[in-house]
Amino acid sequence: MPDPPARSGLILFAAIDPRVADAGALPGGAASAAPLQPLILAHGGTILPAPEGSICATFRDGAAALAAALTAARLLPLAGLALHRGALPGGALASPALRRGAAVLAAGHPGQILLTRAAADLVRAQLPPGVGLRDLGERRLADLLEREGLFQVLAPDLPATFPPLRTLDLYPHNLSPQLSALVGREREEVAAQQALRAPGGRLLTLTGPAGAGKTRLALQIAAAALADFPQGAWFVALGPLQDPALVPAAIAGTLEVKESGGAALATTLGAYLRTRQLLLILDNFEHLAGAIPLVGDLLAAAPGLRLLVTSRAPLHLAGEITLPVPPLGLPDLAQVPDVAALAQYEAVALFLARAAEVQPEFRLTAENASAVAEICVRLDGLPLAIELAAVRVRQLPPAALLARLLGSTGHASLPFLTSGAPHLPARQQTLRGAISWSYQLLAPPAQHLFAALAVFPGGCSLEAASTVAGPEGRRPPTVDSAALDVALVPELAALCESSLLRQEPTPDGTMRYRMLETIQEYAAEQLDESGQRAALWARQAAYYLALAETAAPELAGPAQDTWLARLAREVDNFRAALAWALAPDGDADRALRLAAALGRFWQVRGYLSEGRRWLAGTLAAAPAAPAPLRARALALAGQLATDQGDYATARPWIAESLALYRALDDPAGIADALNRLGALSYYHGDYRQALALYHESLALRRTLGDRDTIAISLNNLGILANNQGDYPAAAAY
């Protein structure tokens, strides 16, 4: 195998924008950069495999690469050009440098030469006379990796002004940064883009077995399609949900659509989407078949909406386009190709890319090529299984890794192919076995943590993992504590290095830890077998109860936005805590406390129907809960029902709350319930009753001296007077 390009070398990318070709700017609409090949060779470049219509080449000399780019821009002004500095340690497909360079190319415009910061630093001292660089700033690119500094080449005979770069910063979205580049999948990406741009391409479903990489592919498709959607692309994680009725709330939460009035949330979503052009990514839909009608209703209500769904099975809706996501391309073990050709197979390329991340000096060689190929074949080309195996090259060379996978028999099938549930398809048994094998290689503390993290379906912070999964079972600390227990950091690092856990940065700069759905299912099985399930779920519920009760008063204060964002990140964990507490072996009183603590969050964020269900369910499950808790929960349930216009349900809840507060002789609670009943009378048009209730509430609040609630009562009296035409009284109130 030839030596890989030197680290100081540059990679040149060139392509004709398909949109230029489609518009007829090229003869016959052919988008070909083929005329650049002899030019690249003349400047000492080496042509690499590249998608159709584009060219990729490496140069050992930065000056030669820049000269080739300048000549190409003059020869073929409709071509976009990009220069990136990077190594190709395992062949073209195996390097993130290829994805990065292609993403830079996609961000530019015909006739524009872009450089990454590393490339610019290399050529800056070698610029020809009259040629300069313009700093375009840090940008997020379509490969979804870390931000990149971009520069534009300025030359006297080349255009200097172009439209804004087509980077992710230009469009609204919530596509999260990824730690690793997507390897392969070019065919699926092209097919998906064509489907989404087709006149009837309203619903595209990516189907395939667990571990096939559907989620990562969907994110990449969405990133590449952003320019087609003025209102952006929005990713909705459905994996943690167990109830199809929660799907509307998950979508609404992502889009920040608030439920209000008496309309069903699905109707509110349809109205919000009706005039918008956006892409909605619904991830892991397969277990929520009851929500399929909602998908059809949203498509019918919103002509500008396009849906990208990942699922193990199609939705079977009219107009659905199904795109299978097969295992990655594999070599034939009977005729293993040479090293250079083997590196171009997608499965091998993925193995090489992930192996290089944990062992940068790892290379595909004549000595290890056969073992690497067989590993990929025995893992059925499943991306997740390959990733789990590849990270082990830090401890084991490929031959030893293969031997461990095959077991002592040496048969041509992995022993763990039958270790999964026998009813599962073969590929899912393979994946299950790969997860099991990776789990068995962990040290006992990391195994314990892996199982314990199953109680976080929504992912978790370091603080949550330490508090809930820590070996000493400490009581939850105050949620604003800055002194985090870092005892679990080595185990967390071990899980991340083994690809059993993923790190995701949050907007506040902290790190969040999350498992893929399939891995979390296996972790839950290990937790059940450990005998610690009840204890860990109790700790999880206690932690999230402490978080919710700490946050509750803050939701009416100046830090409301910060706390709302924090609670929104934990909504799936709150749901899991509530479900556990309501189970037969749970704690119904704790469930009621948690539901009550989240009442204002549900109200402000628009989770009205869901909040009502949780409050009603917990009230029914905890009839003997302490009277102050029941009174508060009843008042909150009544308020959510009032916000939805369901006054008939709201009144008995609030009336019962008032009776409890009177029995407790709680003037603040009495005043609050009276004010809520006054609002119900006002909505019913019974102004006389509303006036009496408002005045009684105001009198109590004046006694308490609470300026905030006094202001609320005065405002309500003013609204009432205004609606009765008594404008002087309204102004006075």
Distance, CA of 672 to CA of 722 (rounded, Å): 22
- Quote the distance between the C-alpha of residue 227 and its chain's center: 19
Nearest by Cα to 115 from 42, 13, 183? 13
pLDDT band at 615 (very low <50, low <70, confident <90, very high): very high
pLDDT at 634 > cutoff 80: yes
Q: What is the DSSP letter of 719?
A: H
Q: What is the DSSP letter of 482?
A: S
Crossing angle for the helix pair 707-723 and 687-704, to the nearest 10 degrees:
160
Distance, CA of 504 to CA of 174 (rounded, Å): 13
User: What average pLDDT does range 181-186 have in this prediction?
Assistant: 87
Instruction: Judge whether 131 and 154 are in contact, CB under 8 Å.
Output: yes
Which carries the bigger pLDDT value, residue 482 or residue 316?
316
SS3 305: strand
pLDDT at 142 > cutoff 50: yes
Instruction: Judge whether 107 and 141 are in contact, CB under 8 Å.
Output: yes
Question: How high is the pLDDT of residue 570?
Answer: 94
pLDDT band at 423 (very low <50, low <70, confident <90, very high): very low
pLDDT at 191 > cutoff 50: yes
Distance, CA of 527 to CA of 627 (rounded, Å): 36
pLDDT at 140 > cutoff 90: yes
Q: What is the 3-state secondary structure (H, E, C) of 575-600?
A: HHHHHHHHCCCCCHHHHHHHHHHCHH
Q: Which two tokens stand for residue 615?
A: 């409050």
Q: Side by side, which strands form the sheet with 511-514? A: 460-461, 511-514, 502-505
pLDDT at 3 > cutoff 80: no
CB count within 10 Å of CB 173 equals: 21
C-alpha dihedral sign at 252, 257, 259, 264: negative
pLDDT tens figures, 451-499: 999 999 999 998 899 889 876 544 444 433 334 445 567 888 888 877 7
Q: Which residue has 């489907």 as its token pair?
A: 195
Distance, CA of 498 to CA of 392 (rounded, Å): 7
Q: Which two tokens stand for residue 340?
A: 């250079």
pLDDT at 5 > cutoff 60: no
Rounded to two decimals, what is the model's pTM? 0.77
Least confident of 4-8, 179-183, 313-317, 513-517: 4-8
pLDDT tens figures, 351-410: 998 898 888 888 899 999 999 999 998 888 889 888 888 888 888 899 998 888 776 544
Nearest by Cα to 92 from 337, 383, 344? 344
pLDDT at 34 > cutoff 90: no
- In sequence order, the 6+-apart residues with CB closer than 8 A to the CB of 87 are 4, 5, 6, 7, 9, 95, 97
**Beta strands 203-207 and 320-324, pairing class:** parallel
Q: Which two tokens stand for residue 555?
A: 């939701």
- Quote the distance between the C-alpha of residue 238 and its chain's center: 10
User: What average pLDDT does range 152-178 have in this prediction?
Assistant: 93
Distance, CA of 481 to CA of 483 (rounded, Å): 6
Q: Which two tokens stand for residue 59?
A: 């140069």
Question: How high is the pLDDT of residue 595?
Answer: 96
Instruction: Judge whether 98 and 34 are in contact, CB under 8 Å.
Output: no
Distance, CA of 34 to CA of 37 (rounded, Å): 6
User: What average pLDDT does range 253-282 have in this prediction?
Assistant: 90
Instruction: Judge whether 207 and 312 are in contact, CB under 8 Å.
Output: yes
- In sequence order, the 6+-apart residues with CB closer than 8 A to the CB of 408 are none
**Beta strands 132-139 and 148-154, pairing class:** antiparallel
User: What average pLDDT does range 501-527 have in this prediction?
Assistant: 85
pLDDT tens figures, 665-685: 999 999 999 999 999 999 999
User: What average pLDDT does range 45-73 have in this prediction?
Assistant: 84
Distance, CA of 249 to CA of 601 (rounded, Å): 13
Which carries the bigger pLDDT value, residue 116 or residue 209?
116
User: What average pLDDT does range 429-457 have in this prediction?
Assistant: 85
Question: How high is the pLDDT of residue 271?
Answer: 93
pLDDT at 416 > cutoff 60: no
Our CA angle for 455, 460, 464, nearest 5°, is 85
End-to-end CA distance of the chain: 85
Question: How high is the pLDDT of residue 16?
Answer: 60
Q: Which two tokens stand for residue 708?
A: 């905030």
pLDDT band at 647 (very low <50, low <70, confident <90, very high): very high
C-alpha R_g of the chain: 30
Least confident of 289-298, 305-314, 325-334: 325-334
pLDDT at 314 > cutoff 80: yes
Question: How high is the pLDDT of residue 419?
Answer: 33
pLDDT band at 716 (very low <50, low <70, confident <90, very high): very high
Q: Which two tokens stand for residue 563?
A: 């706390």
- In sequence order, the 6+-apart residues with CB closer than 8 A to the CB of 367 are none
Q: Can you list the positions of beta strands (E) in 636-722?
A: none
Q: For residue 104, what is the enclosing H or E element?
A: helix 96-107
pLDDT band at 560 (very low <50, low <70, confident <90, very high): very high
% of residues, the chain, pLDDT over 70: 89
Question: How high is the pLDDT of residue 415?
Answer: 36
Question: How high is the pLDDT of residue 221?
Answer: 96
Question: How high is the pLDDT of residue 662?
Answer: 96
Question: How high is the pLDDT of residue 92?
Answer: 54
Distance, CA of 718 to CA of 443 (rounded, Å): 67
Q: Give the chain's largest Cα–Cα span.
A: 93
pLDDT band at 417 (very low <50, low <70, confident <90, very high): very low
Question: How high is the pLDDT of residue 296?
Answer: 95
C-alpha dihedral sign at 274, 276, 277, 282: negative
φ/ψ (deg, to 5) at 52: -55, 135
Q: Which two tokens stand for residue 17?
A: 């924008």
% of residues, the chain, pLDDT over 90: 56
Mean pLDDT of the chain: 86
Least confident of 106-110, 259-263, 271-275: 259-263
CB count within 10 Å of CB 558 equals: 7
Distance, CA of 114 to CA of 22 (rounded, Å): 23
Question: How high is the pLDDT of residue 413?
Answer: 34
The size of the chain, in residues, is: 733
User: What average pLDDT does range 698-714 have in this prediction?
Assistant: 94
User: From residue 644, how far is each of 552, 564, 612, 675 by CA, in Å?
Assistant: 21, 21, 10, 17
- In sequence order, the 6+-apart residues with CB closer than 8 A to the CB of 256 are none
Distance, CA of 559 to CA of 320 (rounded, Å): 44
**Beta strands 278-283 and 305-311, pairing class:** parallel
Question: How high is the pLDDT of residue 588?
Answer: 93
pLDDT tens figures, 202-255: 999 999 877 888 999 999 999 999 989 999 999 999 988 889 999 999 999 999
Distance, CA of 222 to CA of 200 (rounded, Å): 18
Q: Which two tokens stand for residue 282?
A: 């619904």
Distance, CA of 248 to CA of 254 (rounded, Å): 10
Distance, CA of 134 to CA of 556 (rounded, Å): 47
Nearest by Cα to 310 from 323, 327, 301? 323
User: From residue 646, how far is each of 178, 474, 609, 653 by CA, in Å?
Assistant: 44, 43, 11, 11
φ/ψ (deg, to 5) at 169: -65, -20
pLDDT at 24 > cutoff 50: no
Looking at the DSSP bridge assignments, the partners of residue 56 are 13, 48
pLDDT band at 52 (very low <50, low <70, confident <90, very high): low
**Beta strands 305-311 and 511-514, pairing class:** unpaired
